[in-house]
Amino acid sequence: MSESIPLSSFQNLADDSMLLGVLDTLKSVLKSRPSSPDEKTEALLEDLCQVVAEQAQNQNLNTEQVTKIGDNGSHLLEKLYVETYKNADHQRIFNYFALAFAYWIARNGGKINELEFAVNALAQTANILHDKTSLEALYEVATFMVFATTEELKSGPAVSVPGNPWKVLIMNYAIVATRTHTPELMESAYNTLIKHFPDDAPSFFSKAMSEMDRLNYPQHVRNVVKRYYDEY
């Protein structure tokens, strides 16, 4: 796999076999930098490579095991983010892995205890994807993330603070749904937004309405947005 992840790869986030290729690319990226990764980061990366390789052959992991893998992986993502965020190609690799890894956790019944990196990756990836297939794949990832997020991350006064990962996830979920131009996906995401952040719904739909003309959305998309705008 080349250093740059092709945009079309985001259509295949469910392909577990690609995770190992992405991890190998990340290892090469980090080792090629003037300052090599510290031993702890390198050990985490090797551990995660082993975990991903084992899970590809083991379909019997329980919720607790998958969640633990996710928790361990989140520590690696924190390290990798620091190492990759200054280079656009490296950042795309990081984003692909963060999304695919979060998707794997959710699809295998695990719980997501750390949202920040996957949510940031979702937002950044949404900004570079334009084709319907990739955006619908991204929407599916976001859906799984919404349902796999722990109740602890969904509750408490901090969830309403701007920049809170759970809030950012829900807002971007609705944005990605809008960009798919698929009414059914839009309605599902909008209803999720209303359920979790009813106070923010009016401003979201107001802004969405203003985007309809500026970005020349098709009429069937405008109709859905206007219906929610008029109601909220």
Give the model confidence (pLDDT) of 93-104 as tens digits: 788 888 988 998
Instruction: Note the pTM of the prediction, 2 decimals.
Output: 0.85
User: What per-residue confidence (pLDDT) applies to 18?
Assistant: 63
- Is-contact 31 53, C-beta < 8 A? no
User: What per-residue confidence (pLDDT) applies to 66?
Assistant: 85
User: What per-residue confidence (pLDDT) applies to 34?
Assistant: 57
Q: For residue 36, what are the CA distances in angstroms to 3, 50, 80, 189?
A: 17, 21, 12, 42
Quick one: what percent of the chain has pLDDT higher than 70?
Answer: 78
By C-alpha distance, which of 112, 196, 115, 119 is closest to 148?
Answer: 112
Label residue 76 by pLDDT band (50, 70, 90).
confident
Residue 81's Cβ-count burial label (10 Å; 0-12, 13-18, 19+) is middle
Question: Which stretch of 62-71, 75-84, 135-144 has the lowest confidence by average pLDDT?
Answer: 75-84
The amino acid at residue 145 is: M
What residues form DSSP beta bridges with 149?
Answer: 112
Quick one: what percent of the chain has pLDDT higher than 90?
Answer: 47
User: What per-residue confidence (pLDDT) applies to 65?
Assistant: 84
Q: What is the pLDDT of residues 111-142, one digit of tens each?
A: 999 999 999 999 999 998 999 999 999 999 99
DSSP letter (8 states) at residue 112: B
Q: Where are the domains of the chain?
A: 1-114, 150-232
How many residues does the structure list for the chain? 232
By C-alpha distance, which of 108, 17, 107 is closest to 65?
Answer: 108
Q: Tell me how crowded residue 38 is: count the other CB atoms within 10 A of its CB.
A: 12
User: What per-residue confidence (pLDDT) applies to 162?
Assistant: 86
